[in-house]
Structure 1
């Protein structure tokens, strides 16, 4: 699962409209990324149980060791890592876009205040 969250162009660094557009366009992607991460985290529990049931050993500790060291379980952990990486990268891009809008608002408020002072 390879995702690129660096699609926002350099012109949006100061353009609040582009920042808002980025938030709107990526809201579904963020929701999907979070849903994927939560699903994988929950599925991890089921996968552990399935793998423990495959183990022929009787001891609980042996079954658990089998499940945790199984290639399918390790692959699932890699999937969780990628899902978290993508979700967090997108979340911080969205947070950055929100902050751009707030900075723009503050700058405009300051400009209006200065304009009133100059009159």
Structure 2
């Protein structure tokens, strides 16, 4: 999911949403980095589309077994920095783009309302 504004120039609801989104994203990025560091096959998953889910699940199960056995964790793997222009929205995808925009705004407003009434 895309944040509203990387520089905090949004509404209070949007800024709260962006902060929570980035917090959750960081946890996911760290978890995937740890898996990719331990299982090199995941760095460039070059298996057939039918085998990818089983490969990922197998790596997760093996990782959990390593955790149970208290194996030392490797240094998390970092994705190479991606550069280039942002993805374009094709004409045929604009309907989904605008739906996603309105859904993201509804989620931000709901989160802000729930947290501000505490």
Could you state the TM-score of these two structures normalised by the residue count of structure 2?
0.28
Higher relative contact order (CA 8 A, sep 6+): 1
Name the TM-score, length of structure 1 as normaliser. 0.28
Q: Report which of the two has the higher share of helix.
A: 1
Q: Which protein shows a greater Rg?
A: 1
